[in-house]
A and B are shown apart, each in its own frame.
Chain A
Amino acid sequence: MKNGILTFNSMPSIHSAGVTAGPLEKKKSVFAQSFDKLYEDERCDLPTNEDGHKQLMYDAVMVALSKAKKDVEKIDFFLTGDLVNQMTPSNFTAQALGIPYLGMFSACATSVSSMITAALLAEAKQANWLIAGSSSQHNAVERQFRYPLEYGTQKAATAQWTVTAAGAVLIGQNKPGTPSISCATIGKVVDMGMTDPLNMGAAMAPAAMSTLSSHLNGHSKTVDDYDTIITGDLGSSGFKLLKALANEQGLPHTKNFRDAGEEFYGMDPSFFAGASGAGCSAAVFFSDVYQKLQKGEYQRVLLIATGALLSPLSYQQGDTIPCIAHAIEISINEVSMI
C-alpha cells in the first residue's frame, strides 16, 4: 500500500483505555459517565495549569494500565502529545512514567496519529505493549493559542472550547474479542486559506473530507461499512460543513456521521460551536466509542481526528491555517489475517 494508506494484517488490539477529565467536563459533558476519572479542581490540586495537564495524562495512562493489569515496566513505548509549547505536559508525563517515549504532534489529530504509530510498531513486531494518547487542559491551551483567561475576551459563535481531558489506550498484539485496528489513512495537509483561529472547524472540515475520501478509495470501503464515522473536533459549524462537502462529493448520506467536538458538551451554547483540543477526540474515542465497541453496539468504526497546524505566531503574522486529519479503522470480532 502507499500514499498514506496503511493496512494492519496482524490487527493490533486496543486492550484497554483510560480517560480523565476536569471539573467543568464532569458537570457539563454528556460523556462524563463514561470517563474513568474526574477531578474537582481544574489544576488537579496542583500549583499550575501545566502541572494539572501533566497529571491528567499520567492518570489516564495509569487507569488504562490498571484495567489491563499491566505494570509500567512492561510497556515498550509511550506515544503521546498535547498543544502546549514544546509539549512539556507530555514530556513530563513521560519522565514520570519512565517508558521509552516518542512525542507526537498532530495538534488535535494526535489521538489518532499516536494510535497509528503504535499500531505500526506492533505490526512490525517491534513492541509488545504500547501506550498511545493525547491530552489538553483548557487554561493552559487557551492562554497559548488565544488569550489568557484573565483577559476575559469575547468569542465568536464559531469558536470552540478547549477541553480539559486526557485519553490513553494500551495497544498490543491481537486478542480476539477486543477492539482491534485493521487499517488507517495518514492525511495530507490541507489549507483552504482560512485565517480565523476562532473558526477552526471550518478550516479543518476540508482536511477531514480529504482524508475520508482517500480512506474510502484507498481501502475500497463505503460509508455504509461503518457503524459510525466520527470526527474529532470540528464543532457544530465545521461538522455541518463536512456533511455538506460529503454530499457534494457524492457520498449518498451522512446519517452515521458523528463529531466528538459537537457532542462533547451536549450542544450547550455557552461552549459556542462545541469542544476542541487534543483531549477532545481522545476522551470521546477512548470512552464512548471504545465502550460501544466492547458492548457490541458498534462492530466497525472509523475515527477521523482533525488538527489545525497553526502556531500563535503563524496566525499573528497573517499566515493561513493548514489542517490535517488522520483516520483509523477499529473493529471487533474480525479475524486477523496472520
Chain B
Amino acid sequence: MISIYITSFIVGGLICVIGQLLMDVAKLTPAHTLCSLVVAGSVLDGIGWYEPLIDFAGAGATIPITSFGNSLTHGALAEAEKHGLIGVVTGMFEVTSSGISAAIVFGLIGALLFTSKGNV
C-alpha cells in the first residue's frame, strides 16, 4: 500500500526532472517542453510502454502532462480497432475530452473571477 505512494512520487518526480532538464540544459522554451512531453507520452503509449508505467507508478504517471499524450494515442487506438481509420480521428478526444472540457470551464471561471496581478 505504502509502496505505491513511493513509486508514484519517484516516477512522477523523474518525469518532472526530465522537463526541468529540457528547460535548463536543452534551453527549450516552456511551450516546447510541454509539447515534447506530450509527444513522448503519445509515442510511449504507441509502443505499449505507458500502460505498464501507469500500473507501476499510478498517479506518478497519470498526473504529468505525458499522460495527456498517452490518452490521445490510447483513445485513437481503441476507436481505430472498432471503426477503422475514422476511429483515429474520433477516438483521440474521446478519452481526453474530460480534461480539455475541464480546462475550458475552469479557465472561464478563473477569467471571470480574477484579474492578473504582478508580484506586488
Taking Cβ atoms with an 8 Å cutoff, the residues of A that contact B are 22-24, 27, 42, 138-139, 147-151, 153-154, 156, 164, 196
- 14 cross-chain CB contacts under 8 A: A23-B120, A24-B119, A42-B117, A42-B118, A138-B118, A139-B116, A148-B116, A149-B116, A149-B117, A154-B23, A154-B30, A156-B24, A164-B118, A196-B27
User: Count the B residues whose beta carbon is within 8 Å of the partner chain — how many?
Assistant: 9
Give chain A residues whose Cβ lies under 8 Å from the Cβ of B30.
Answer: 147, 151, 153-154
In the complex, the chain B residue whose C-beta lies closest to that of A196 is B27
Give chain B residues whose Cβ lies under 8 Å from the Cβ of A24.
Answer: 118-120
Q: Is the CB of B23 within 8 A of A42?
A: no
Q: Is the CB of B27 within 8 A of A150?
A: no
Q: In the assembly, what is the distance between CA of A138 and CA of B27, in Å?
A: 24
Minimum-distance CB pairs A-B, first 9:
A150-B116, A23-B120, A42-B118, A24-B120, A153-B30, A139-B118, A149-B116, A42-B120, A138-B118
11 additional A-B pairs beyond A149-B117, A154-B23, A164-B118, beta carbons within 8 Å, are A22-B120, A23-B120, A42-B117, A42-B120, A138-B118, A139-B116, A147-B30, A148-B116, A149-B116, A149-B118, A196-B27
For residue A57, give the distance in angstroms from its CB to the closest CB of chain B. Answer: 18
Give chain A residues whose Cβ lies under 8 Å from the Cβ of B119.
Answer: 24
Q: In the assembly, what is the distance between CA of A215 and CA of B16, in Å?
A: 49
Give chain B residues whose Cβ lies under 8 Å from the Cβ of A42.
Answer: 117-118, 120
Give chain B residues whose Cβ lies under 8 Å from the Cβ of A148.
Answer: 116
In the complex, the chain B residue whose C-beta lies closest to that of A142 is B118
Q: In the assembly, what is the distance between CA of A196 and CA of B27, in Å?
A: 9
Give chain B residues whose Cβ lies under 8 Å from the Cβ of A139.
Answer: 116, 118
Q: In the assembly, what is the distance between CA of A27 and CA of B119, in Å?
A: 11
In the complex, the chain A residue whose C-beta lies closest to that of B119 is A24
Q: In the assembly, what is the distance between CA of A148 and CA of B27, in Å?
A: 19
Q: In the assembly, what is the distance between CA of A75 and CA of B8, in Å?
A: 68
B contact patch SS: loop
Give chain A residues whose Cβ lies under 8 Å from the Cβ of B116.
Answer: 139, 148-150
Give chain A residues whose Cβ lies under 8 Å from the Cβ of B118.
Answer: 24, 42, 138-139, 149, 164
Taking Cβ atoms with an 8 Å cutoff, the residues of B that contact A are 23-24, 27, 30, 116-120
For residue A321, give the distance in angstroms from its CB to the closest CB of chain B. Answer: 14
In the complex, the chain B residue whose C-beta lies closest to that of A40 is B120
Give chain A residues whose Cβ lies under 8 Å from the Cβ of B27.
Answer: 196
Q: In the assembly, what is the distance between CA of A248 and CA of B120, in Å?
A: 40
Give chain B residues whose Cβ lies under 8 Å from the Cβ of A23.
Answer: 120
For residue A48, give the distance in angstroms from its CB to the closest CB of chain B. Answer: 10
Q: In the assembly, what is the distance between CA of A27 and CA of B30, in Å?
A: 30
Which of B30, B116, B120 has the most chain A CB atoms inside 10 A of its CB?
A: B120
Q: In the assembly, what is the distance between CA of A23 and CA of B119, in Å?
A: 10
Give chain A residues whose Cβ lies under 8 Å from the Cβ of B120.
Answer: 22-24, 27, 42
Q: In the assembly, what is the distance between CA of A24 and CA of B119, in Å?
A: 7
Give chain A residues whose Cβ lies under 8 Å from the Cβ of B117.
Answer: 42, 149
For residue B31, give the distance in angstroms from its CB to the closest CB of chain A. Answer: 9
Give chain B residues whose Cβ lies under 8 Å from the Cβ of A147.
Answer: 30
Q: In the assembly, what is the distance between CA of A113 and CA of B79, in Å?
A: 64
For residue A104, give the distance in angstroms from its CB to the closest CB of chain B. Answer: 26
Q: In the assembly, what is the distance between CA of A24 and CA of B116, in Å?
A: 15
For residue A272, give the distance in angstroms from its CB to the closest CB of chain B. Answer: 12
In the complex, the chain B residue whose C-beta lies closest to that of A139 is B118
In the complex, the chain A residue whose C-beta lies closest to that of B27 is A196
Q: In the assembly, what is the distance between CA of A139 and CA of B118, in Å?
A: 7
Give chain B residues whose Cβ lies under 8 Å from the Cβ of A22.
Answer: 120
Q: In the assembly, what is the distance between CA of A42 and CA of B119, in Å?
A: 10
In the complex, the chain B residue whose C-beta lies closest to that of A153 is B30
Give chain B residues whose Cβ lies under 8 Å from the Cβ of A27.
Answer: 120
Q: In the assembly, what is the distance between CA of A156 and CA of B25, in Å?
A: 11
For residue A310, give the distance in angstroms from its CB to the closest CB of chain B. Answer: 15
Q: In the assembly, what is the distance between CA of A164 and CA of B119, in Å?
A: 12
Give chain B residues whose Cβ lies under 8 Å from the Cβ of A150.
Answer: 116
Give chain A residues whose Cβ lies under 8 Å from the Cβ of B24.
Answer: 156
